[in-house]
Amino acid sequence: MSKAKALIFISGNGSNLQNIINNIHSGYINMDIVAVVSDNPEANGLKKAKIAKIETIIIDMSKDDLLNLSKVIDENLIDIFILAGFMKILPEEFINKYNGKILNIHPSLLPKYKGLNTHKKVLKSNDSMHGASVHFVTSELDEGPIIIQGKINVTDEDSEESLKKRVHEIEYQIYPIAIKWFTENHIKQSGNKCLFNNEVLECPIEHLSE
């Protein structure tokens, strides 16, 4: 099977990026990261990309920037777009053009708590469960078909900080699995559904970790 070619989009720390790099180095994921794209020139994740000798591209989301990015994408025949803490909303045109190839990780059990401050919302609602979801990206924010979720139990001792840390641990488990499935053609997006080995997933796959 040929090696998938990826662009990874970040805005901040890039710990998921680092985890994906580690999973490529260990041989778990068979993929080349063609470039790491950031809207934030100060993103810590850019240092991680440079250490791993991966090209970096800074975009300000202007039409010109996105056009240039499209050229890089088309010239390199990019197979997969991985959003890993990318805080900007991609234009609808971009999402439609690369429909079915864009994955995102979100720190909540979608469809609960789209958008920001998910840990705070979980605590405020006294939820007993929390977690992370990997989904295909559509033009509706955090709405695309969900591939896999990992769950944690929320305890009385949890704070926003502890939930952030514990959910990140789940993310480091489920994102490589989803990426591996994608690069091995096990998962596909079909409209607002996710197919696994060509069968519709009626609900997201639950990753059992705790």
Q: Name which of 158 and 171 has its Cβ closer to ligand GRF.
A: 171
Q: Is 135 in the site for ligand GRF (CB under 6 A)?
A: no
Establish whether 119 is a catalytic residue.
Answer: no
Whole-number minimum distance, CB 131 to ligand GRF, in Å? 10
C-alpha–C-alpha distance, residues 198 and 22, integer Å: 29
Which of residues 6, 7, 9, 14 is near ligand GRF by CB under 6 A?
14
User: CA–CA separation, 63 vs 167, rounded Å?
Assistant: 34
By CB under 6 A, is residue 105 in contact with ligand GRF? yes
The region that residue 142 occupies, defined by phi over 0 for left and psi between -120 and 50 for alpha, beta otherwise, is left
CB of 81 to ligand GRF, least distance (A): 14
Residue closer to ligand GRF, measured from CB, 16 or 189:
16
Are 81 and 9 in contact by the 8 Å Cβ rule? The answer is yes
When asked if residue 143 is in the footprint of ligand GRF (CB under 6 A), the reply is no
* One-character DSSP codes across 72-84: HHHHHT--EEEES
Of residues 31-90, which lie at the interface with ligand GRF (CB under 6 A)? 45, 84-85
Q: Which amino acid is at 77?
A: L
